[in-house]
Structure 1
């Protein structure tokens, strides 16, 4: 879950968005946002930002479930880790934008996992599951049906506002996703994960560099400039021994 998308996911159920959009309706909605009684100021700002976000509008027009789809699209355009016929796991998948992109790029077997219930996506397995619970990684491996070509993680906890606590929680999820990748990827596979506050910590970064030929941090243009999120991309997985 993206830091910048968390508010959106708290406000609506996952599901497909309708294509197109009426500018007059958007303008009328903006006026209601300004005058609604009892609405928190932060909620008003979030809604206004959504109305003016070009990636939100593009997602609506192109039928993607969230603006986050464009982050994965940019990442794959640059690093080219999604291949036709790939077996892919998407951890923290709600509402399903990354799953949609993986399928569009030719993945043949995609498993999306999230705490939030997600509407079905044709061609994918969507699992409502807490990935951090005991036994959950085994359930995902079973759904994959074999070694993965790509493990993607958009996992992020609900933030507390306490920077040190939030960083520890976020890094715990990234490490859990990386351990799953070490145990699940086939040789040559890729691991993609969201990280915050300067990227992966030195210990995890060293571990990734020992198991992948190439490890990079990169921030897509579609990631909002005020967000502290960036993405870790590890390519060409090497089995130990």
Structure 2
């Protein structure tokens, strides 16, 4: 039977997880308080801290890769909008970019972002606007060839208007797909975040022309109240 810190026996009931409650401070909006409370009680946030990831989003790419298996040892990966770096951390480990497993091929991980990103062991980080005309050429030059995986967890800055935000992130995803068409090896994989909302039909049609299989997935790490989902396009047709 379990004991309390004072040595007395408990009643035998299992311990309950205690949720952290956050008081609304002066000057803090109620929405901010709710966000903070959700963060403090989010099991993925706690796991990220415990396992050394830079954010809970790392578990989204982990779960997607567990299902589709695109981050293999030796793979060359481009992570668009990589800040704060959680996806790069996962890619480094799964592609053997550090060469820690001598019996497996060594991968390459290239992180791209508009802002500076703290260095990540095993990843090469570049500050670049991927929408620049010569971005694809720069990426291929840095990689020394084409990529096996292009992935993106980017989201446009929120406007507060749901439909506007949906259109913006679909446009961002389409732009990421266009870069992927230029830098992917035949047979490669494209993974990107989108928001459900009805305007992504054009993106789906575009991807289905260029890849052999296109799936839409909401991994367990994606919050239930979020409209985000991920498109996973495999088997790039090249050309």
TM-score normalised by L of structure 1: 0.82
Q: What per-residue deviation string (whole Å, max 9, x for no partner) do you get for residues 142-168 of structure 1?
A: 222211000001111101122332222
Provide the rounded CA distance (Å) in 2 between the counterparts of 1:201 and 1:38. 38
String of CA shifts for 1:61-103, please: whole Å, max 9, x gaps. Answer: 0000000000000000001111101100001111000000011
Alpha-carbon distance between aligned partners in 1 of 2:25 and 2:41, rounded to the nearest angstrom:
19
Deviation at 1:191, TM superposition (A): 0.4
Any idea what SS the aligned residue of 1:190 has?
A: strand
Structure 1 position 69 matched with structure 2 position 68: no
* SS of residue matched to 1:34: coil
Paired position in structure 2 for 1:179:
178
Cα root mean square deviation, aligned: 1.9
Pair 60,97 (structure 1): closer, same or farther in 2 beyond 3 Å = same
Query: In the alignment, which residue of structure 2 is the partner of 1:42?
Result: 31
1:132 corresponds in structure 2 to 131
The equivalent of 2:147 in structure 1 is 148
Secondary structure, aligned partner of 1:188: strand
Counterpart of 1:189 in structure 2 is 188
Mark the runs of 5 or more structure 2 residues left unpaired by the alignment: 1-17, 98-106
Are residues 163 and 50 of structure 1, via their aligned partners in 2, closer, same or farther at CA, if it must alter by over 3 Å? closer
Residues matched between the structures, number: 212
Judge which range, 192-201 or 97-106, deviates more: 192-201
Name whichever structure is richer in helix by fraction. 1
Q: CA deviation at 1:198?
A: 4.3
Moved more, 34-43 or 72-81: 34-43
Give the drift of 1:220. Answer: 0.3
Greater Rg by CA:
2
Q: 1:87 aligns with which of 64, 70, 76?
A: 76
Larger RCO (CA under 8 A, 6+ residues apart): 1
Partner of 1:13: none
Report the counterpart of residue 20 of structure 1 in structure 2: none
- Unaligned stretches of 5+ in structure 1? 1-25
SS in 2 for 1:208: helix
Say whether the 8 Å CA contact 1:195–1:232 is kept in structure 2.
yes
Instruction: Rate the CA distance shift 1:200–1:220 in 2: closer, same or farther, 3 A.
Output: farther
Distance 1:200 1:160 in 2: 17
- Conserved? CA contact 1:200–1:232, under 8 Å: no
**For the structure 1 residues 200 and 98, does the alpha-carbon distance in structure 2 shift closer, same or farther, using more than 3 Å as the test?**
farther
For 1:195 and 1:100, how far apart are their aligned partners in 2?
22
Deviation for aligned residue 1:48: 1.0
8 Å Cα contact 2:188/2:236 also seen in 1: yes
The superposition leaves residues 8-34 of structure 1 with CA deviations (integer Å, 9 ceiling, x where unpaired) of xxxxxxxxxxxxxxxxxx99xx67x41
Paired residue secondary structure (2:111) = strand
Pairwise CA distance, 1:131: 2.1
Aligned to 2:102: none
